[in-house]
A and B are shown apart, each in its own frame.
Chain A
Amino acid sequence: MSGLEILSLAGPASVQDGGRPGWQRWGVPEGGALDIHALAEGQALLGNAPDAAALEMPGAGGRFRAQAAMVVATSGAEMALRVNGVARGWRSALALGPGETLEIGAAREGAIGYLHLPGGIDAPVELGARSAHRRAGLGLVPTAGDVLRPLGRGGVAGRSLPRPAHFDRRCIRAMWGPQSALFDAASRARFAAETWTATPFRDRQGIRIAAAGGPFEAALGLTTLSEAVVLGDIQMLGTGEPVVLLADRQPTGGYPRIATAISADLPALVQMPPGTGFRFEMVDRATALAARAALRAEIAALPERVVPAPAEGLAAINLIGGVVRGDEGEEPHADRS
């Protein structure tokens, strides 16, 4: 099936779905989209199944060319978007004609963008998921020249979703955990009261955060045994700088963990551009679970929030029928990059 040819990628993009829980005892990272809300936005825009895979694009996107008429959708961090040089809106489904070029630039708000195809991106299912894990050699880590192929057809262009509220969240809720007691009371109090900054040192494994007051003292007695790690664990490196562990976290960890960010606030954290200031708010498990339920409800309601794309809606809808755009004669596989 023809698809979307990658002409260039601006960052370490990878294909991600909901991840592969269940293999942690074998040392396999869970993986999956860093921003599960953004993944769900794309599914809502295209009517995809919840586990459909998308292209996760940290920082910036790249250039793509449609090999045939197709509908695609964008979500997550708002990135500069052009189709054949014409600016288009983010967080919407749009039609591409054969040979048309899609350019996705740098993030203007947020940090990680997603590109979705109807039915999700075709990538090998390994250990139950399509999520790529670069080091383990699992899944699809595409490069220029590769073609992203849709697993389904259809999709309705000219539909969009409103900007998610979590882009404004500057308070990340966290729980104390089994290793918090390795840190003295003063360190714990400081952790909860500090002003933090999301640093540029981030990848799919974790995001390093910096305290306004400088690095922390090393934890008491670094005898921490390697124990199983959970999503959102905040690990204190030997340098006294914490890393919030994300989807590709190692299954076990040796560095002491001072607290655990709640899952409902991870979309907000991963979408913070470098330099964003925030605070932690320590909460109990009941609060974390209520927030988790609220996020799930919000995700479940996304299909109802899909509306006609503003302003450019009419133009986009006109494209659905594949009306004349003047470039049909071009060789679809010719490289115009």
Chain B
Amino acid sequence: MGEAGDIPAGYPRLAAAGEAALLIRFAAAPAPAVAAAVAAFDAALRADPPTGVTEVVPTICSVLLRFAPESVAPEVLEAACRERLDAADWYAASPPCGRRRWVWPVVYGGAAGPDLAAVADRAGLREDQVIDAHAGHPFPVLTLGFAPGLAYLGGLGAAFDLPRRTELAAEVPAGSVLVAIRQTVLPATPIPTGWWRIGQSPERNFTPGAAQPFRIAHGDSVVFEPVRPGTAARAREVAP
């Protein structure tokens, strides 16, 4: 096993999630070793899916396996999963291949980021200091969820330890750059949100109808690049 302190006792745990899915939890709280285990187990399952598995969904601390009960008995699939879990030290696994780093353009502040001033106020920083803290650093993609292509990114410092606002959630446009609870959220469609909107990207992580409708994936990382309003900046992939 990896660093002893990283591996919570009693994990990984396997549980039925409804009649046609299994949830494999690697911990109850996020940690680098947990993220490594989720990414590696997800990649291994997708590379060689056990019989009957129809979909694999990684999140922050767990992997959901959906299966067709018409194709496999759940007990058989559970046994196959336990065998795989026991066969390797997933918490110490190397990052799977195919992870990418994205440079993602953002117009910060002004009309594109109406909450930037408030975020700066709360952190006791100037707006340019907030931008410096947000742009230029690789942030890990923790999970995708809530809406098509919407990515949750970790890695933010204490200046971004903001609460989600509880007042009636306002709708923000696709491409908004939102922060709260030391995370960044990148919605690819308009969503209602209580997060703080500090910028706007000309890019979307969802292009309906495209051969590859999504780019940012679970386990990738994203570096934000400040751009001026009206710039035709595009996202690009760089060597990690």
Contacts and interface: CB of A to CB of B under 8 A. Distances in A.
A25 B58 contact: yes
Nearest to B152: A226
Most buried by A among B28, B56, B145: B145
Interface in B53-99: 54-62, 64, 66, 69-70, 74
A288 B16 CA distance: 12
Nearest to B208: A126
B28 A135 contact: no
A178 B23 contact: yes
Contact of A252 (B25, B54, B143): B143
Interface stretch (A110-118, A230-238, A321-329): A230-238
B64 to A, nearest CB: 4
Nearest to A288: B19
A11 interface: no
B147 A136 contact: yes
A312 interface: no
B44 to A, nearest CB: 15
Interface string A261-301: 01100000000000000000000010011001100100000
B189 interface: yes
Contact of A289 (B57, B74, B214): B74
Interface residues of B, number: 47
B226 to A, nearest CB: 26
A264 to B, nearest CB: 9
B9 to A, nearest CB: 16
Contacts of B62: 225, 227-228
A225 to B, nearest CB: 5
B233 interface: no
Contacts of B199: none
Nearest to A252: B145
A228 B59 contact: yes
B77 to A, nearest CB: 12
Nearest to B60: A225
B10 interface: no
A232 B18 contact: yes
A27 B54 contact: no
B211 to A, nearest CB: 12
A221 to B, nearest CB: 10
A75 to B, nearest CB: 24
A313 B188 CA distance: 51
Contact of B148 (A136, A232, A263, A285): A136
A135 to B, nearest CB: 6
A26 B214 contact: yes
B173 to A, nearest CB: 12
5 contacts: A25-B218, A126-B208, A178-B15, A292-B19, A292-B20
Given A25-B58, A230-B18, 14 more contacts: A25-B56, A27-B147, A28-B148, A28-B149, A175-B16, A223-B28, A225-B59, A227-B59, A228-B21, A228-B145, A230-B17, A289-B74, A292-B19, A292-B20
Interface of B: 15-21, 23, 25, 28-30, 54-62, 64, 66, 69-70, 74, 143-152, 188-191, 206, 208-209, 213-214, 217-218
